[in-house]
Amino acid sequence: MSTEDQEAQEEELLALASIYSEDEYMRTDAAPGGEIYLCLDLPSAFVVSIKSNSATNSYAHNFENTVSFLPPIVLTFELPPGYPSTTPPNFTLSCKWLSPAQLTLLCQRLDDLCEENKGSVVLFRWIQFLNEETLDYLNIKSPYEIEVSSNGVQDWMQSPEKTLTDGVLLERGALDRRAIQDVQSVPALIQYILDFNEVQEKKAFDRKLFLCNICFMEKMGSECTHFKACQHVYCNYCLKDYFEVQIKDGQVHALNCPEPECTSIATPAQVKDLVDEQLFRRYDRLLLQSSLDLMADVVYCPRRSCQTPVVQENYLDKPMGICSACKYAFCLYCKMAFHGFSPCHVSSEKFVELAKEYIMASRERKKEMVKIYGSFDKAVEDMNKKWIRDNSKPCPNCKSPIQKIDGCNKMTCTACKKFFCWVCLKILCPENPYKHFDTPVPCM
């Protein structure tokens, strides 16, 4: 290698290291070269969808999403001893969202740029082209459909021909071996695109200034929280105080955007970033408990020392729970040890209350109560007898129970039609029953 070539290579590599961050440029130690990661500037509201050539990935046809960033084009290069005077750099181009045919066109253009700048360093010209001209050169516009072949380059090389959107025809074997579509599977590609876009959006957000509508101070995005559903932004200091008060009061479902009438809710990850560990544990526990309370098939172990959430099961057509922590099998109605077909045991006072409910219940509810607690016939009969004793008197002639609703004390038995006095239960004269009440003290 000539001294001039060696100096030119070293200067070019040092210039790359000084201009680009470690996330954008990595220099290799084994030989002069490195990797450059080029993240293109996309038009606003750029829509991408994914098309798969494999029948097994047909479900991925429905993927469509608006993104601000797509994964980078990776330029991997090595500078040979004759560069730049006589030999061009060795390189590969890899990308997850460009097809092998599209990457082949970019490789051809990089070769053309080498020829146009023969004898001069070319890496910066390559980077400029890939950064600024790729979308126009490949005629990529929104909405953009990503083509993914099931076996990568191999499928493309074996196909008879492939036509690109700009009219360039690639015949069999025309794909460049330096063009690599770095895709393992369609689901993995979808997740990678979404994750990369989220990370890059966070980086862009952190570098901007925002006005907090609570303290009315401008803060960097890195000091703020962004509610994605509503796009409102507040500084972390104000939100921290707001979240702490709500969590201490047990209002874990009230951690919403402070904007009036806004219904956006803070995510658990956002809450965790703002409050201390002890308070987040309280938030997490209350949130889980409130969620479980809304689930009809989840109960808590009745043992006070346990209280583990339990999913109800059915055995012998009766609901039961088996605690995964203490292994206690219990009846979901009475919370006692599971008792199969036997009725639930309750105290006599409780059973009286249930009997009162049974009398007023609907037919369906009565069936359910009998299934749980057994027959209520005797209890209802006893209640009726007690009510009769407390609210009626026996007819002195036939002993039929008679209730007085209103009126005077002269009573007529509905069964035997005899007249009698309600106070002393004396049978009255049928010809003049009121004569009994004419004396000053009739019931002596």
What is the per-residue pLDDT across 179-237, written as a single tens digit (0 to 9) for each?
999 888 888 899 999 999 999 999 999 999 999 989 999 999 999 999 888 889 999 99
Catalytic residue chosen out of the listed positions 215, 262, 408, 443: 408
- Per the model's pLDDT, the better-predicted residue between 167 and 86 turns out to be 86
CA 376, CA 381: separation in Å to the nearest integer?
9
Domain 210-293: what homologous superfamily?
Zinc/RING finger domain, C3HC4 (zinc finger) (3.30.40.10)
Does domain 304-345 bear CATH number 3.30.420? no
Task: Provide φ and ψ at 227, rounded to 5°.
Answer: -85, 110
Q: Write down the pTM of the prediction.
A: 0.58
Question: What confidence score (pLDDT) does residue 1 get?
Answer: 66
Break the chain into its structural domains and give their ranges.
3-199, 210-293, 304-345, 348-388, 397-437
Beta strand pairing call for 401-402 and 410-412: unpaired
> Tokens 């239960």 map to which residue?
425
Is the pLDDT score of 110 beyond 90?
Answer: yes
What is the per-residue pLDDT across 414-435, written as a single tens digit (0 to 9) for each?
889 888 988 888 888 888 888 8
Domain 3-199: what homologous superfamily?
Ubiquitin Conjugating Enzyme (3.10.110.10)
114 is catalytic: no
CA 287, CA 198: separation in Å to the nearest integer?
26
Residue 16 near residue 30, CB atoms below 8 Å? no
Question: What confidence score (pLDDT) does residue 431 get?
Answer: 85
